[in-house]
């Protein structure tokens, strides 16, 4: 009997915590439909009628859909690069015996622990030398080499691929490159998908690197565009417009999460939990 009551209390606490996680987003969506003066004068959980006015304020300042398109232009190729080249590198390290393999693995592990700010200045300097400032290339190309993803996929290779299968394909006369594309990639696809979700979210949300590299407003990715709200007095005067802009930036991720939360959560533990 006491257990039942206690369990009830625990559920109530869990629900309260879940509300704390959701409430800011709910307030955001409600306030996105209210006018600046309504928001300023009182708090309400009922939606208002100012959605189109707020939208007009935002679109007179910037094109959020362009920001979204820009973010996709960076995040999609970057994710594909990470997926393909990480699988290729991980496969080579798991299956072949070659000189330098141990060193490569060591460097990968060390770089997984090195904080990103350590390379920030050198990276910017390099991009300036290469004349690639204000281009998407330096946001996309480094995605070819992501140590954490290689580390995870190498372990995945070791648990999924059987040497017998590869040997059988070789006896059938398949070349190594063909084996990788026709046999290995399909077998690795669950692991690759898991890592790709994490990679996509990371690229989509990335702020500091695009902030230092992109100069032209028409090239801004969504997070950089949202951050530029700070400098618009038209918008900062109208809180409804800020809420709407933030809501538009958040909604695609919320929708994606509603459909594939299971895989997204799988991708978090994949990187950290190693049996």
Partner 1 sequence: MGKELSATRKKRDINKVAYLFIAPFVLTFVVFSIYPVVRTLYLSFTDYKGFGEAQIVGLSNYIRVFKDKFFWRALGNTVRMWSVNIVLQLGLAFLLTIIFSDIKYKMRGLSIFRALFYLPNLIAATSVAFLFKTLLDWKYGTINQMLVGSGLLKAPINWLGSTLTAPYIVAVIGAWMWFGNSFIMLMAGVQGIPKDYFEAAAIDGAGRWKVFFQITLPLLRPIMLYVAITSLIGGLQMFDIPFLMCGGTIGNPSGSTQTVVMYLYKFGFEINQVGFASAIAYALFMIILVISMIQFKAFNKKEA
Restricting to residues 29-48, which ones interact with partner 1 according to CB under 8 A? 31, 39-40, 42-43
Q: Can you read off the two tokens belonging to residue 20? A: 């704390």
- Range in contact with partner 1 (rule: CB under 8 A) among 47-55, 154-162, 185-193, 244-252: 244-252
Contact between 242 and partner 1 (CB under 8 A)?
A: yes
Q: Residue 175: enclosing H or E segment and its boundaries?
A: none
Contact between 73 and partner 1 (CB under 8 A)?
A: no
Angle between helices 185-205 and 64-95 (to 10 degrees): 140
Report the site for partner 1 in 200-219 (rule: CB under 8 A).
201, 204-205, 207-208, 212
The single residue among 98, 162, 163, 233 that binds partner 1, judged by CB under 8 A, is: 98
Q: How far is the CB of 218 from partner 1 (least distance, A)?
A: 18
Angle between helices 239-272 and 64-95 (to 10 degrees): 10
Give me the count of residues in the chain.
275
Contact between 269 and partner 1 (CB under 8 A)?
A: yes
Confirm if 81 and 140 have CB atoms less than 8 A apart.
yes
CA-to-CA dists, residue 158 to 51, 92, 99, angstroms = 53, 11, 19
Contact between 244 and partner 1 (CB under 8 A)?
A: no
Contact between 61 and partner 1 (CB under 8 A)?
A: no
- Range in contact with partner 1 (rule: CB under 8 A) among 47-55, 56-64, 185-193, 198-206: 198-206
Contact between 141 and partner 1 (CB under 8 A)?
A: yes
- Range in contact with partner 1 (rule: CB under 8 A) among 53-61, 151-159, 185-193, 251-259: 251-259
208 contact partners, CB below 8 Å, separation of at least 6:
120
- 31 vs 43: CA distance, rounded Å: 9
- Range in contact with partner 1 (rule: CB under 8 A) among 48-56, 58-66, 112-120, 187-195: 112-120
111-114 long-range contacts (CB < 8 A, ≥24 apart) are 111/147, 112/147, 112/148, 112/151
The single residue among 121, 181, 217, 234 that binds partner 1, judged by CB under 8 A, is: 121
- Range in contact with partner 1 (rule: CB under 8 A) among 13-21, 48-56, 152-160, 187-195: 13-21
118 contact partners, CB below 8 Å, separation of at least 6:
none
Report the site for partner 1 in 147-166 (rule: CB under 8 A).
147, 150
Contact between 196 and partner 1 (CB under 8 A)?
A: no
Contact between 243 and partner 1 (CB under 8 A)?
A: yes
- 272 vs 148: CA distance, rounded Å: 10
Dihedral pair phi/psi, residue 97, rounded to 5°: -105, 115
The single residue among 1, 5, 16, 113 that binds partner 1, judged by CB under 8 A, is: 113
């Amino acid at each position: 009997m006491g257990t039942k009551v206690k369990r009830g209390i625990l559920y109530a606490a869990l629900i309260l915590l879940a509300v704390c996680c959701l409430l800011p987003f709910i307030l955001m969506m409600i306030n996105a439909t209210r006018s600046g003066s309504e928001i300023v004068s009182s708090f309400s959980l009922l939606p208002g009628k100012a959605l189109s006015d707020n939208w007009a304020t935002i679109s007179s300042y910037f094109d959020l859909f362009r920001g979204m398109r820009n973010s996709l232009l960076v995040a999609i190729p970057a994710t594909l690069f990470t997926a393909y080249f990480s699988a290729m590198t991980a496969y080579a390290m798991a299956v072949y015996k070659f000189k330098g393999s141990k060193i490569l693995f060591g460097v990968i592990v060390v770089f997984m622990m090195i904080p990103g700010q350590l390379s920030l200045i050198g990276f910017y300097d390099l991009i300036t030398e290469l004349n690639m400032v204000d281009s998407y290339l330096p946001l996309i190309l480094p995605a070819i080499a992501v140590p954490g993803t290689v580390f995870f996929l190498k372990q995945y290779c070791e648990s999924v691929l059987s040497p017998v299968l590869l040997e059988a394909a070789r006896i059938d006369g398949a070349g190594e490159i063909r084996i990788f594309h026709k046999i290995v990639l399909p077998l690795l696809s669950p692991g690759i998908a898991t890592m790709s979700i994490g990679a996509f979210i990371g690229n989509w949300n990335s702020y500091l690197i695009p902030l230092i590299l992109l100069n032209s407003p028409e090239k801004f990715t969504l997070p950089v565009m949202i951050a530029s709200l700070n400098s618009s007095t038209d918008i900062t005067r109208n809180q409804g417009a800020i809420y709407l802009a933030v809501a538009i930036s958040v909604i695609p991720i919320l929708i994606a999460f509603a459909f594939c939360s299971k895989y997204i959560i799988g991708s978090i533990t994949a990187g950290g939990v190693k049996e």
